[in-house]
Amino acid sequence: MRTDLFALGSILFELMTGRRAFAREHTIDTLHAIVHDDPPDLLPRDTALSSIVRRLLAKAPDERFQSAIDLLWALEHIGPAELNARPYGTPLNRSPRTRTRWAMAGFAGLAMVVMALLAVRLWKPQATESAGPALTQFTWSLPSDMGLDSAPIVSPEGRRVAFTAVTVGPVPRLYVRSLDSRDATAVAGTEGAKQPFWSPDGSSVGFFARGKLMRVAVAGGVPVVICNAPDGRGGAWSPSGMIVFGPQLIFEGLAKVSADGGPVDPATLVDFDRGENSHRWPVFLPDGIHFLFYVRASADERRGVYVASIDRPASKPGSPLLRSESEAVFVPTSGGERGVLLSAADGQLQARPFDAAALRFDGDPRSLPVAAGGNTPYHSAMLSASADLLATVATPMPYGVQLGTVARDGTDVRLSSRRPQNWPRLSPDGRRLALQVVDPARGNPDIWVETLADGSLIRVTTATGTEIFPVWSPDGLRLAYGSGSLTERRLSIAAADGTGVVQELACPGAYCEPTDWSPDGRHLIVNTRPALNGARSDVWSVSLEAGGAAEAILAGAFSEYDARISPDGQWLAYVSEETGQAEVSVRAISGAPRRLMVSNNGGSQPVWRRDGHELLYVDREGHLRGRSVVRQPREALTLGAAVSLSVPLIGSGHWGTQYDLSPDGQRVYFIDQALSPRPSEISIVIGWRALLK
């Protein structure tokens, strides 16, 4: 097959240029040229057929058409203007006889295109009769250094696919690929983009980046900020210019805003009393008023697809339209109001006939022979469709991280299974590990304790709120943590054996999270912010005695956070951003003001060794570094030179401290930042409605 395609390219080259692509004086030289040389640069510039011929003759296998199906679509999308133009290669200043001969060759070339098109059609084993295009299936493989970071999103007209992807670095960008193009085009200015969605006319793409909802014209232009969206989870753009979107990962309903910017209003309200924790992945129905969305909930009966509308005040969801572990995409199949809801279940594509005007199903569901990965705590299901084009990815997006432990010299690395987890904290005796684990199906973050000797697990919290930052009491019997909803935060203390909450305290600000427990057991050290979305963070001490009095320890003009008390209770290590970047400092808690800089070129996540003789931190590249601590007369403190530990890179996870040190200082427990392989193949199905018959 590939030999035939190469031969076709050679014929077309000769018909278009009047010269053979690889002809040499001797046969052996011609054979060598076929294998090693590029054809002469004689093809017309900036024409689709020239691009096709160059690709047919490419030397590198991954640059050629991978199948006749790929060639078919490239040929079928040559524009009419090009087909009606002056025949390729026709000389402008030749004799009438020569011009006639070249014109005949040019027309023969176009005839050859038609013949090739017909021939390729005969090669298509999947072709069947349907109301739309013939059923055609093929795969787009991304370049070897690129991996998907979102589902492929089909444009309204069904000729382009948008997606976000990462290359060598970890930062994703927005890409768009047309059916008649071999390569995806990166959209300028979209670094950090995620969760793309198309405008109704296909001229722009909405996406989330850097805590904002944004839009960008696909043809070129500067991305435009629409509004704040701290951790966006899907958007939908109506013909009237209204965008419905999920602004947060958890504990917030959908919001709505004009695509031109302006006031942001709630579109749905989360029903916390019924176990819901977030609304996400909205999709407009044909009337541009009603939209589908997905509800994540700890209660199984509440998870699924719901319907709401933008012309009514935001309200809590009623009954689910469809109980499901995946969101749904509506695709019209006959007229504007009738179509199917596509979703993913058990790795397969599910289709349900749906009347969008009556908002009801009007047929039995069926499983289609197309693989489609389901949604995850952070990504949508891997599918999208227009009336004629379906794009899927067989596997879900990878998620979660591994908990690792390693000797400080880099030997004896051990990794756990991959799951959504954060903030590992060893018990004072080093025998147990507390951390936050997120239920991937229900989306509920809880605090768990693992016994390291046998791997047994105890679930410490069961509330529907978000529990974060576990901190051990000095005696190892209790755990303090941040709790409550996104808008109503508090400090909670629970028994470490999972027998229940024993104390709750108010946050000293709109938001707080514990970072340490004083050695005498009387105070919690907490990060706090005066406003929920405030940019500045301060460090406070909260008394555990009756009344829970709180006082600011560090509350300057710059953010200060993640404070940890030395084992003797005399010194406080913390992170400050006063220099314009995060740096670790240590200062005396009482007595005369004394302060030492621990890092000098970026640092965060300070941790004391349990004997107080070492202070560790993470530099801005993620290397774990340690400085010896020497106590001098009259309570002075001296720090040794910074030394790098031979352990894997320590990342920041969501935020906060993502590692801990064993009591003897010989082992590091950390969140491994190595990413799972990302999917790199997009399955394309043209005329997919034939699968419904």
For residue range 507-530, what is the model confidence (pLDDT) as tens digits? 998 889 999 999 999 999 999 987
Would the pLDDT of 268 be above 80?
yes
Residue 296: pLDDT band by 50, 70, 90 thresholds? Answer: very high
Would the pLDDT of 476 be above 90?
yes
- 429 close to 476: Cβ distance less than 8 angstroms: yes
What pLDDT sits at residue 77? Answer: 57
DSSP H or E run through 551: strand 550-554
Q: Radius of gyration over alpha carbons of the chain, in Å?
A: 31
Maximum distance among all alpha carbons in the chain? Answer: 106
Q: State which of 39-43, 56-60, 404-408 shows the largest mean pLDDT.
A: 404-408
Would the pLDDT of 596 be above 50?
yes
Q: Give one DSSP letter per residue of 45-84, joined into a string.
A: TT-HHHHHHHHHT-SSGGGS-SSHHHHHHHHHT--HHHHT
Euclidean distance between CA atoms 495 and 590, whole angstroms: 31
- 308 close to 293: Cβ distance less than 8 angstroms: yes
What pLDDT sits at residue 184? Answer: 95
- Domain ranges for the chain: 2-122, 136-398+677-692, 401-672
What pLDDT sits at residue 115? Answer: 47
DSSP H or E run through 390: strand 389-392
Give the predicted TM-score (pTM) of the model: 0.68
Euclidean distance between CA atoms 14 and 566, whole angstroms: 80
Of the candidates 116, 62, 126, 283, the one whose C-alpha atom is nearest the C-alpha of residue 685 is 126
Residue 212's contacts (CB-CB under 8 Å, 6 or more residues apart) are: 225, 226, 227, 228, 229
Euclidean distance between CA atoms 615 and 596, whole angstroms: 12
Q: How many CB atoms lie within 10 A of CB 119?
A: 15
25-41 as b/e: b if 16+ CB within 10 A: eeeeeeeebbeeeebee
- At 550 the three-state DSSP class reads strand
Range with lowest mean pLDDT among 138-142, 159-163, 551-555, 590-594:
590-594
Residue 175: pLDDT band by 50, 70, 90 thresholds? Answer: very high
Euclidean distance between CA atoms 292 and 287, whole angstroms: 12
CATH 2.120.10.30 is right for the domain spanning 401-672: yes
Q: State which of 138-152, 528-542, 584-598, 623-637 shows the largest mean pLDDT.
A: 138-152
Contacts 24+ apart (CB under 8 A), 110-118: 110/83, 112/8, 112/11, 112/12, 112/15, 113/12, 113/49, 113/75, 113/78, 113/83, 116/8, 116/12, 116/71, 116/75, 117/72, 117/75, 117/76
Would the pLDDT of 652 be above 70?
no
* Residue 8 tokens, joined: 């076709």
Q: Mean per-residue pLDDT for 66-88?
A: 56
What pLDDT sits at residue 558? Answer: 92
What pLDDT sits at residue 75? Answer: 67
Q: Mean per-residue pLDDT for 388-412?
A: 93
CATH 1.20.59.10 is right for the domain spanning 136-398+677-692: no
What pLDDT sits at residue 118? Answer: 42
Would the pLDDT of 275 be above 90?
no
Residue 449: pLDDT band by 50, 70, 90 thresholds? Answer: very high
Euclidean distance between CA atoms 311 and 535, whole angstroms: 34
Euclidean distance between CA atoms 36 and 568, whole angstroms: 73
Would the pLDDT of 405 be above 80?
yes
For residue range 112-141, what is the model confidence (pLDDT) as tens digits? 444 444 444 444 433 333 457 889 999 999
Q: State which of 4-13, 65-74, 246-255, 388-397 shows the largest mean pLDDT.
A: 388-397
Of the candidates 190, 144, 151, the one whose C-alpha atom is nearest the C-alpha of residue 171 is 190
136-398+677-692 and 401-672 share one CATH topology? yes
Any idea how long the chain is? 693
Residue 192 gets the label, from left (phi > 0), alpha (psi -120 to 50) or beta, of: left
